[in-house]
Amino acid sequence: MNTETTGLNGWWVRHWVAAIGAALLVTLTPLSYIQWKQFSLIEDVAVNQIDSIMWQSYQLERELSHLSSAIQVSLEPEDVLDVDHLVERYEVFVSRIAVVTDIPRNDLLNTTPAYLEAIRLVNAFVLEADPVFADTGELLQPRTARQALIRSIEQIEPALGELTREANRATARFVDERNAQLREQGGLVIALAGVQSGVLLLFVALLVRHLRRQVVQYEKLQAVSRELAVARDEAEAANHGKSVFLANMSHEIRTPFQGVLGMLNLLDETRLSGQQRDYVQTAHDSAQHLLGVLNDILDVSTMESGTLRLAPEPVRLRSLVQEVESLMRASAREKGLKLQVDTAHDLPEWVMADPTRVRQILFNLLGNAVKFTPQGSITARLCRLEGTPSGVCLTVQDTGMGMDAATVAQLFTRFYQADNSVRRRIGGSGLGLEISRNLATMMGGNIEVMSEPGQGSLFTVHLILPETVAPAEGSHPLSSTLEMRQLRVLVAEDHPINLKYMNILLDRMGHEAVFCENGHEALQLLARQRFDVVLLDYHMPVLDGMATTAAIRALSGPNKDIKVVLVTADVVNDTRQKALEVGVNEFASKPLQSQDLRRALQRCGLLDASTVLVNDLAPVPDVDTPDPDELNTSAAGLIDTESYTEIVAMMPPDTMEELLGTLFEAPQGSVHVLVASLAAGDAAQIAYDAHKLKGTAMLLGFRALVRTSAQIERLAPEDNAALRRELGNQLLVDMERTQHALRQFAQAEPA
């Protein structure tokens, strides 16, 4: 809108300037011409001295009269003849003739009869008089010559008088003509001035109209601006509300996750059957997956609000990469993929980096490679970035399905999925790559991708990780061979399941715990008892973790300086900075795990390095199962060996063979029945057959078949023939790989 308004205003300004310029040109050009004409007339009068015509004619007449008088006097008897005086008067008269005939504007006279007659007589007189005045002896002769001159003068005098009058009339005519021209020009000036005034009034009217329109438009723009300001304020308020909502949702979702994951961990430590352990593991994996999606959404929101901050610290780069490799190797092995991770020998040993965020980038790229590579290999390499100090280059190359140019162009777009069928089959929130690219940008680098359909993909990550020295010996996190001393812990937590979980967790870690439901109760307990550390939930009724910490620091007793660990799931706002300002010592994120709690307590200085670690978890029952490493890499993870071993131990061989036949033998085996249902397209039958296969596969511990049949059951209502055909092919592949794994398992069993 601003651009359009500016362009419109510019158009109006240009056209107004052009119109005003044209009007001024039209009105001022004639005025200028008239003024020039008036100036020419005045200049003509000044230069040519028009009014001197009459005067010069009169002077000629007067000099003739003086000459006549002088000659008349010379004729008096008693007068003595003064020849020189007569000659002088004659010469003066003759000089006046040239003045009349050579005057600049003699054109006003030289065509009149009076002028022609007078000049003729004067010229005749000069011809007569020149010989007389040329020879002074003639003047001294008897008066006859002078008398003849007198008679000639008497003939000329009427003509010169008439010439003087004619000159007067010519001058009057000229003045009249000039005055007429001036009046005409004055009239034109008045007319043009009127036209100019009219034009100017018209332009003023148009300008006033335009200004009024501009005022109206300005008022509209002001109204729009106010509306936009209100909309902006509402958007900012909505964004703030979204941040608060996400913070609350983070707490509300992570808080029950605390109990869910904690209880699943504790349940996994009890004596379970293979099937029960598989159920627990499936529930734990699902909870972890949901937590990962939540973390992705919260990370994106944090980046949007600009509150995400890196926390660089000395990191041993090779160890971090090896840690990620070890965690991803199981996923790759389960799909039969070869995973190779290489680190260049010239990599810096220690760098300044945020280990959590670097690990997140590695997990996202390697996780995507595993997801979208059905077979083949994945190769990751970490090396120095040439030509860039402190630069590190990570490449992840797979032999997966690859992508076309259109998909690559939108790959980092939020929630973008190249293929809905892929999304449904493989899953994912579509946020991992966007988060990874933003994190790489925050670390001074970027992520690039090269891919072709069917040829796999190559992701290249550039990061700026300054080299540093190894941290001091005392600054390392708690070693796995050390345990903290027994502590008296005050726990403020309002969620009953979390209270139960933390009670078991602290008891396993060998600490004495006292529990309360809010910050107010915690302050009351601190006023009466001594504690080593306080674990505060961030969101609690009455007094939350922040307010409770501020109140603790305001105490006057010895508990004023007690160590405070804030347990929070709030990753959206600047919680860490605010908490540090009120006096929190350390942080532990939800869901709370034992290693996270140990790490927080160690950073608080509450570890006793002289104490030997007592295992805080109950020992896992020793089940006599074959080593998974004995299985072929392409089949490892396809079956739960504990569940399958229990079933084999319970059933006679022929019964076990019959049971396997109900799954694998065509055409009545459950796998083939489900494939046929997928081909027929009956959604209800597909769901029934998938559920039936899933139950049998779970009983036997066939994990790959459980996953695929569960996916088929979930997608049964989808009317997508291509997807059903794809899932049927996947089911047959899983069956063949499971059978192959069973054969290898049978060969690996002791005789």
pLDDT of residue 514: 92
The string of pLDDT tens digits covering residues 411-438 is 776 555 555 444 444 555 567 788 888 8
**Does 5 have pLDDT greater than 70?**
no
DSSP bridge pairs for 188: none
Percent of the chain with pLDDT over 70: 72
CATH number of 478-612: 3.40.50.2300
Q: Given 2.70.98.30, 3.55.40.10, 3.90.1150.10, 3.30.565.10, which CATH number is that of 309-465?
A: 3.30.565.10
Q: Which residues contact 97 (CB under 8 A, 6 or more apart)?
A: 60, 119, 122, 126
Cis amide prior to 77 (ω within 30 degrees): no
Cβ–Cβ under 8 Å, residues 638 and 741: yes
pLDDT confidence tier of residue 562, bands split at 50, 70 and 90: very high
pLDDT confidence tier of residue 534, bands split at 50, 70 and 90: very high
**Does 396 have pLDDT greater than 80?**
yes
Residue 550: its H or E element: helix 545-553
**Does 439 have pLDDT greater than 50?**
yes
The string of pLDDT tens digits covering residues 590-633 is 667 777 788 888 888 886 533 333 333 333 333 333 343 433 33
- All structural domains of the chain with their residue ranges: 24-193, 309-465, 478-612, 638-748
- As a whole number of angstroms, the distance between CA 237 and CA 233 comes to 6
Same fold flag, 478-612 and 638-748: no
Whether domain 24-193 has CATH 1.20.120: yes
Kindly list the distances between the CA atom of residue 538 and the CA atoms of 496, 565, 576, in Å, as whole numbers in the listed order.
15, 10, 11
Question: Per mean pLDDT, which range of 125-134, 213-222, 245-254, 341-350 is the poorest?
Answer: 245-254
Which is higher by pLDDT, 269 or 345? 345
The string of pLDDT tens digits covering residues 58-92 is 888 888 888 888 878 777 765 667 777 888 888 88
The string of pLDDT tens digits covering residues 138-152 is 666 667 777 888 888
Q: Which residues contact 307 (CB under 8 A, 6 or more apart)?
A: 572, 573, 574
Residue 674 burial class via C-beta count within 10 angstroms: exposed 0-12, middle 13-18, buried 19 and up? buried
Dihedral angle sign, alpha carbons of residues 161, 162, 167, 168: positive
pLDDT confidence tier of residue 495, bands split at 50, 70 and 90: low
Which is higher by pLDDT, 47 or 666? 666
pLDDT of residue 433: 80
Q: What is the mean pLDDT of residues 704-717?
A: 86
pTM over 0.85: no
Residue 527 burial class via C-beta count within 10 angstroms: exposed 0-12, middle 13-18, buried 19 and up? exposed
Q: What is the mean pLDDT of residues 570-580?
A: 69
* Fold designation for 638-748: Four Helix Bundle (Hemerythrin (Met), subunit A) (1.20.120)
Reference 457, options 506, 519, 508, 395; nearest CA is 395
Question: Would you give the DSSP letter of residue 715?
Answer: T
Residue 623: its H or E element: none
Residue 493 burial class via C-beta count within 10 angstroms: exposed 0-12, middle 13-18, buried 19 and up? buried
